[in-house]
Each structure stands twice: as structure tokens, then as C-alpha cells.
A and B are shown apart, each in its own frame.
Chain A
Amino acid sequence: MSVWSEPTRQRATEIIGRYPKRRSAVMPLLYLAMAEEGRLSEEGMREVAEWCGITPAQVQAVASFYTMYKTEPVGRYLVSCCTSISCMLLGADEVLGAIEDQAGVPDGETDKEGHLSVEHVECLGACGGAVAVQVNYELIEGVTPDRARALVDWLRNARPDVVNGDEMQELFGTRRSFEWAIHEEDGAVGPYPAFQPLGTVGR
């Protein structure tokens, strides 16, 4: 009945094992479901329901509460531009506009090729490095409209298999909230956070 691959099933078993109660694994398993299919499908939610011993409606109630579980198809690169207060004060609306223009994708939508999705988001915790933009939850700080346009072009043309925050920061960012001297290899391979082996490479 399961739609999940064997390694994913193993991961699911392992994740559930970490928590005192099965239901607590809903959130990580939802990410797992997204990693499996690139977005959160109904099938994926049904599967999570079975693993956690709850109904699909209970899973959807949780999944739809959070903004990072995407039930609509998302592009390979999810570009999130912070437009909360601190970033807004430093031009976030203009940066978002530049991204929309260059990508030809309005806020909240995905291009036809399934390549780029654009969204505005609330505060990313990078206010000292406003304007903040994330690609697949890998952060770039100090983004300006010009740099945002260059970022979109780069995603279009270079089509990196892994998006890496440090690399993008060097190419498209300016001021950061704080210094970070070490270069990190890990990055995201899909529109969900690269955490633990989930969509992470470079280890």
C-alpha cells in the first residue's frame, strides 16, 4: 500500500524511533513525504497518517497550519523573499518586485517549467542582513534588486543540483547579520529544508 521507497521507509522508522510518541513524528515525516515527491501530495499525507497512527484529516490539519509544507506543486527552486518590517525598511518590496519581474513569476506562483517558485515570506531571522532571500531555505543576506535579478538568472541558467547558502551569499549577497567564517558544503536539493540527510549533500 505504501507509496514510499524502501530507504524512505527506513528513514521513517528511524525518525519515529526518536520520539516518545509516534504522533510527534508528523512534522519530520511530512518533510520526508515532500522529499519523496517534491511536494506534499494527498498520497503523501495518507502515508504519514498511517505511519503516525492518525487520520489523513488530522495530518492535513497539521500540514496546512504551517507555511513550509507545500501542497501545491512547487518549482525546483523556491525563492522566498522576506518582506517583514526590517527588510521592508531596506527595500524588500523592491527586491521582491525584481524577482517577480526577472522570473516572470508573480508572488505565490510557479513558472510553467516547474523551475522557479516565488513567494514573499515573513521574517527570516536575518534582519541585520536585510534584505533577506532564501532559495530552498538556504539564506542570502543583503540582497538588492540588481542582485536579486542576477540570482534569478543564475538559477535559470546554472541550474545547480545543490543550492548552497555560502556560495549564493558570495555571488548575490552583501551585508550579513553576523560574520560566518567557515564555508559549509551542505546545501539543499529540493524545495524543502536541507536538514539531516533530508535532501542534504556534501557531508
Chain B
Amino acid sequence: MTDRVRLSIDGVEHEVAQGELLIKAAQDTGTYIPRFCWHERMKPVGMCRMCLVQIETPRGPAMITACTTNVADGMVVDTTSEAVKRSQEAILEFLLANHPLDCPVCDKGGECPLQDQALAYGPGESRFVEIKRTYVKPIPISDLVLLDRERCILCARCTRFSEEISGDPLIEFMERGNLTEINTFPDHPFSSYFSGNTVQICPVGALTAKPYRFRARPWDLERVESSSLFDTAHPRVEVHASQNQVLRILGVDHPNLSHGWLSDKARFGFEYLGSADRLSTPLVRGGGRLVEATWPEALEIAANRLQLIKDEDGGGALGVIGGAQGNNEDAYALAKFTRVALGTNNLDCRLDDTLSSHFLAATVDRALIDDLDTSGTVIVWGPDLKEEHPTLYLRVRRAAQELGATLIVVHPRATGLDDRAVVKLGYRPGGGFALLDEIAEGAHSDVSHALAAAKVTALVGLASLADDPRLPESVAALVRQKAPGARILPLSSRANTYGALDMGVAPDLLPGRVAVGAIGCANLAESWGDIPSRPGRDTRAILEGLVSGDVRGLLLVGADPLRDCPDRTLAGEALEAAEYLVSIDAFVNDSNREADVILPVAVFTEKEGTVTNLEGRVQRVSRLRPAPGQARPDWAILEDLAALMGVGLGLGSAETIAKEIADVAPVYAGVTWDLLDWEERDGVVVPMTGDQPLNHIPVSLEGNRAPRAALTLHSARVMYDDGVRLRHSPSLSRLAPGAVAHLSPVDAPKVGAREGATLRLVTKKGEGEFRAVIDPGTPAGVVYVPLNQPGAPSLGADAVVRVTVVT
């Protein structure tokens, strides 16, 4: 137990934790001290002076800022004295002197601390008869954020956030004194993946978000709390809607997750929900076109054809890809439907660019995000967290910057965490095993030391498409060997992948991280009946099966393999070859354009349920608005399909599914909606216990060496790509970098490329034209191409690339 101190606030004695800030201690014990600049998640700056209170000192009463003063034993605090009141009135009068009174047209009107506190603590009227400061208004400081400088009260929240929290010090105080203003460098916008947070924490309406600006008044909004599926940590959010349109998403401070911060993708990526392109009725192919149909028509056609193939060639002739976009209840329904109705284990929520399902879902020593706060060493060998795992990025940054963890980053090129890394190692894409061997042999003493020294947390995933999918498991094995007791967080970046795997949406896993096999199947028999006990095909094998003809029918559930699979050629051939294609989706996409039946699905904010994040935390997602037209939740569609195929899945409702999950998946026992709604609002981490298999992969794989090529291709996902949700969110879709190829300043002159030149890139798996970016962050010998970009040709997972200049 931490040391406690006693203090008196306004005559009442309290006991609080030592070292706490007075403003926080007062708040927690029921006294609200007004403030503008203080924010619980950032270092105090004591600038606004609104939180001045009076304390007793040996030399008489003194005024101190509660946001910068730690509590002390015996402290006597007066928050309502005459002097305190006078100073609060004065601060408000000063702040309002130059503040425009445009509340009626200000987004913040109605939820503005300045407005509220002026009412509560302010003088009646301003005595400022001079001319107010004015600025040209408003200026866009990024693609998403606008700044009205005259509304700014200089609380330094946005500047602190960008510097301390997100590590993008691009927005700063400029000038000084009365001329001080917030601004960016000319031609160097606040292009941070986290810019929207500044809008949320701005205590006035100085920073506003383009997607929300002037769209609503706060008192008109309906709101629910939920979890974001744009980030595999599933940060807590509050979703606000008006007239069934989602208008904004705010971060909610969850102590174990993102601390209230959101990536701009999680914050602004809601526009797709209301997109006019959303599917609202079932579509069936008729006369070569997709035409609208009724649910009974569409379901019957789909069920009949799936049944036909199953009857002719058995369940093994069917395959299911997807299931990571929905809730756990949907995923469970899909896992059950596939096994029980289709009679196959050919089912995968991963899209062939990721790790083994056992490693992702059943790593017994999986780390919690909170482990980062207590780790002496954090090693990140995998994707650039800033691009793919925004919450983890912020938490790792905090661990390294504020909490003193030694950070090791291993990645083929520059990453967003490099400035905080004590050790940064690079390697040729595809050549990770060579580096792993070196580390194993002790050639990198700094790494060895860091791993030997203290509590280790390792975040491992695929850094590059060129990497061997077995590399991360080997990294984990090495970490365990060098740092017994280390905790491992395996990384995969699709919405609810971990939930889907936990629900058994994998060829080799059953609900509850149980391996497909005789024992697992026997345990399920009571509720599922007889199901195939041999592991089925994963995504790649399903696609190959389609090409070879062994698989005839394909069900896509919120999946777009043509766009999302690294091997687009294979995906294309497979879809071409598929005899029958059913898609459950919210949009028409490249892959289901040729489908025989498309069934419209309800998505985020349109259905209740639970999701499971990458540390195994189960949280609620909530419904706020109806799905468009006749769109329905996945589970309901699947239940009807199964019924038409003569199988009762017995699902009933999302809530009854949740109960069934708790029954059949041992680790989910007790995790009910009731619990999550009332007692465990911050979610429950389902335990990593039991006899789940833990892979032991040898550290080195013979013959796996980086290709000996002049240039190696490094492809990786970035924050903004051409994924279907982003494509239909206009504010964000413009932010994707597009078809670009990054060359190092060393290689660029060698191939004769200048910034902006058109390049032709050729690999064995594809070719096409890209715009050249000369990038000091990309090392010599590497060509870096962001994946899945609008207008970008696919180059496949091949690491050898030839580059020629077109213009």
C-alpha cells in the first residue's frame, strides 16, 4: 500500500495517496477546483492560473496552483476563500477579455469549460472596452483540424499532447506575451495520426475537426460508450449521433488501454457508416448483374447452392474467409455455422499476411498492454506501431519516455518510435533470421544486456511482407530464451482478429483457443454435434483450393481478399475460379463484385455485442442507430442460412450467443454482458491458462537468408490505405499516400530517380508504376512501398524488386 497523507480541504479532513497532485486529490475526494490547462494525462504547466487555491504556510496564507502542487501531510487548503474567488474572477475576466463571444456558432458551445466556468466563477460582465485581438480565421493546421486562434486560451494542451504523448511536435506556441499564438510551421502541417485528440482536449473551440465542424450542437446528440474496431487494442470510445447519423467519436479514458487518446482513424473513421454506398438490401446475380432481392429469395438461393456443393463433394469443397470485422457473437456464429452447417474447418479470419493462429491466440505468456508500464525493457520487432497499432505506439512511447523503459526497436526502416529507442536495429527485408542468429550468438551486446536486465515485454509481429511468417515466433522463442519470464504480445492488425480467433474462426482453433482435434471436438459435441476433427484450410489453402478446383464454393464475410491478401494474383485467380460465391458485407468491393449473392450486414454502432482485443480483453460494443435498410447482423444471417440448410444453430440473439460462448469456451466462462455493462466496464481480460499449445520453433531456419538482390522490397501497412471502411470515409481516404515507392537518398541517384519521378517496379508477383519519394528513413538497398494504396498495383510478397525510371 502506498503511503497516505492527511490533509484538510475546505475544513474537511481527507486521506489521500502521497505524491498526488492537489487538484486530483481534491477532485477524487469531492472538491472540484476549476482548471483549464491541467489534464490528467499530461505534465502540468500551471499556465492558466485558474486553479489557484489558498494554503496555510508558516508565513501565513499563500496562493498556489493546485495543478502543480503535490499534497503534503497536514496541508490545509481553502478553495473558496475571498482571495481565491477574486483570483478566479480575475482569470476569467482576463481570458474573456480577448475571447470572441461567438458561442452560438462555436462547436464547443454547450460543452465549453470556459463558458461553464464563466457562469460558475466569473464576473458578471467584461470591463474590457478595448479592441479584441483578431486573427485571420480559421486556418487549417492539418487535413482534419482547423484552428481559430482568437478563441485559444493558450492552455498548452495541444502542444503538450503533440510533444509529450504522440511525439509529433508540429504544433507550437509562436511569438510571446500577448501575441502568443498556437501555430504550425508554414508548409509543415500538423500531419499527425493523432491530431484529433487535440480537438477533444481543447477546452474551448479553438481547435475543431473538419468532419464535425458545425454539424451539431452537443445537446442534440445521442451517445453510447463502445470500443473502437479501428485499432486492435480496441480503445474505449463514446459515439455520438444525431438523427441516426454518427457525427463524432470521442476517446474515453480507460486506464488500461489508450488513456482516452485515439488515432485519427479511430476518431474520424466513422463516415463509412452513413455512406450512400452501404448495402441495404440483399443482391443476387440475375442476367449477369447484381439485382435487389428479398431476404427469403437471397437466403434460399445461397443456402441451396452451398448445400448442393456440400452434398456433391462434402464440406471440404467449401471455404470461408473473413469474420474479423464483426463482434465476437458474429464470429462465434460463423465458427459454428462453418462447422455445423457447412461441415468443414476451411475457415480463416486471417488474410494470409499474418501469423499462426496458435501464436496469435494461444500464446500462454501473452503480455498485457499494462505490462509496458512496469517493464524495464520493451522490444518491438514487428510492424511500425505508429502505422498499425496506434494505442500500443502511444503506450510504448510513454513507457520509454516517461517511465524509463529501455526500448529496442527492430525494423527494416525508420519507425515512429526510433527517437525513443535506446537500440535500433535494421535488417534487409526477408533477412530477419540472420539478425536473429546474430542476437542469439550475443553479437549485439546492448540487446543482450537489455534482455538480461529487467522485466521484458516483447511486441512481435511481421515487420514486412518480405519477412518469413515464422520469424515472429522465432523472435518470441529467442526472447524467452534470453529473458525467462518475458511476456510476449503477438501482433496482428485486423479489427477483431483476436476475438474471431478466440471464437474459433480459424482452420485449427475452436472457441476458447482450443485446438481442432478429437478432444476439442468431443468437448463441443454437446452443443455443436458432430464436426470435422481435422484442421481445415487456411486462407491461402482455400484460395489455392479454389484455383485447383478442390474447393468450389466460397463464403466471404466482410473480407476483400483481392485487396487484402498479399498475393493478389492468387486471390484474383481463386475468385475467378470459384464456382459459387456468397458474400456477407456492408459494401460491394473488388472481391464480391462478381458474387452470386451478397447479403447486407449491420456493422459497428448498429449492433450490440462484445469484442476481444490483442491482449485478450473482452469489452462491449453498443448499438446507437439502426442499420441501413434491411441490413442485419452476421449471426442472424448465418442462423437463417443454416436453417435453410436444415440445421438449427440455436443462436436466438446476440445476448444468448454471448451466454453460449461463456458456456462452451472455458476461458470465457463468466464473461457476460451484465458483468461488462455494470461491474467490469473496463472489460475483462480472459485468462491465458490451460493447456493451449505453445509453439517452439527453432531460432534459426536453415537456408532462410535475405535475398541477394541489389534492391529488396519492403512492403508494410500504413495508417491510411484503401481498406473498404477508409475508402468510404471521405475525410480520411484523401490521406492515403497512394502509389509511392520510397528510395534512400543513396539509391535514388543510382537508379536515376528524383523526388516525384515515375518509377516502374517489377517483382516476380507483379509490377506497376509508383511515384518516387526520396526518404532518408529508408536505408540503402531497400525500396519501401506502403501496402494496399489507392491506385497502387500489387507487387506481391516477393522481396526482389527491379526499379526503372519511367519519367
Contact = CB atoms under 8 A, between A and B. Distances in A.
Interface of A: 42, 45, 54-61, 64-65
A61 B174 contact: yes
Contacts of B171: 57
B417 to A, nearest CB: 16
Contacts of A58: 169, 172
B185 A55 contact: yes
B172 A61 contact: yes
A64 B644 CA distance: 72
Interface string B180-213: 0001111110000000000000000000000000
Given A64-B176, A65-B175, A55 B169 contact: yes
A54 B171 CA distance: 12
A55 B419 CA distance: 12
Residue picked from B171, B183, B185, B186, most chain A C-beta under 10 Å: B185
B248 to A, nearest CB: 27
B705 to A, nearest CB: 35
Given A54-B169, A57-B169, A58-B169, A64 B184 contact: no
B90 interface: no
A56 B188 contact: yes
Interface residues of B, number: 15
Which 6 A-B pairs give the minimum distances between C-beta atoms? Answer: A61-B172, A56-B185, A57-B185, A57-B172, A64-B174, A65-B176
B75 interface: no
A61 B187 contact: no
Given A42-B186, A60-B185, A55 B170 contact: yes
Contacts of A59: 185
A194 B168 CA distance: 35
Nearest to B171: A57
Residue picked from A42, A45, A57, most chain B C-beta under 10 Å: A57
B94 interface: no
B185 A45 contact: yes
B173 A61 contact: yes
B175 A57 contact: no
A60 B172 contact: yes
B175 A42 contact: no
A57 B170 contact: yes
Contacts of A56: 185, 188
Contacts of B185: 42, 45, 55-57, 59-60
Nearest to A59: B185
6 contacts: A55-B170, A55-B188, A60-B174, A64-B176, A65-B175, A65-B176
Given A45-B185, A57-B185, 11 more contacts: A42-B185, A55-B188, A57-B169, A57-B171, A57-B188, A60-B172, A60-B185, A64-B174, A64-B175, A64-B176, A65-B176
Interface in B498-548: none
A64 B172 CA distance: 11
Contacts of A55: 168-170, 185, 188
A90 to B, nearest CB: 26
A184 B184 CA distance: 43
Nearest to A62: B172
A58 B185 CA distance: 8
A54 B172 CA distance: 12
A2 to B, nearest CB: 13
A135 B174 CA distance: 27
B520 to A, nearest CB: 53
A64 B185 CA distance: 11
